[in-house]
Chain A
Amino acid sequence: MITEVLTVAAEEGATEHNPIIPLWQEIVVGTIAFAILCFVLMKFVFPMMEKTFAARVDAIEGGIKRAEAAQAEANQLLEQYKAQLAEARTEAARIRDEARADAEGIRQDILAKAREESDRIIGAGQEQLAAQRESIVRELRSEVGSLAVDLAGKIVGESLADEARSRGTVERFINELGTAGSAGGRR
């Protein structure tokens, strides 16, 4: 294209300008303009952009770091809570066991006491019963003697002159009775 144009221009012979030779005025103006452009952009714009990029990276990385820290803290708290919970559970179990043991002990105590009491009551009752029985037996023995004598006098119709003899008989009889009665009462 250029060569074509150049040849065309050369053929015409009226060319005032050569496109491959720069105009010095344009070089001056262009240099000034480009210098201004570079100065403004490189001084005021692009460093700011680099700063913004860095700040953005910082913000993102900082955010990630903060999130990680929060996560770690949460995990730690969770562990702590779990540990506390486990501790509380074992404590509760211990207390429950203790209470159970206490209750068992108390029960045993009460049972023992009750048994003792009942034994004591039974013993007292038996003693009393035995004493009563003794006194009744004693009473009966004298009464039965006189009754028997009275009965025998009435039946025979004779005075019992021979008191000594008769008394001996009665005594013997009652003693036999007594041994038989006491043997029966024990049963």
Chain B
Amino acid sequence: MINAFTFVLLGFLIICAISTCFCKNFLTSVIIFMSYSIIMSILWMVLESPDLAITEAAVGAGVTSLLFFVTLKKIHSMNDKNNEDNKAPMDEKEKDRSADM
């Protein structure tokens, strides 16, 4: 059952898990975590449980990462340094845009 493909996937899994912890940038970390979920879902396929694979792909890679992204945005941790003007106070035009969202 365990063949070379599985070993490669397991290696990727461990690399992803470790680099999620040691990554300095939160955004990169979340994206690596997303790829961790994708690899995990392929591994569920290899272990012959396709229903878990579907759930892992939808919840682990999709919804969880989206919630992480939203949280990072809320705590203003997704702005890089070139994008400082994002923190400037809103002018009237942008207020209008926010009102009709």
On whether the two chains bind one another, the answer is no
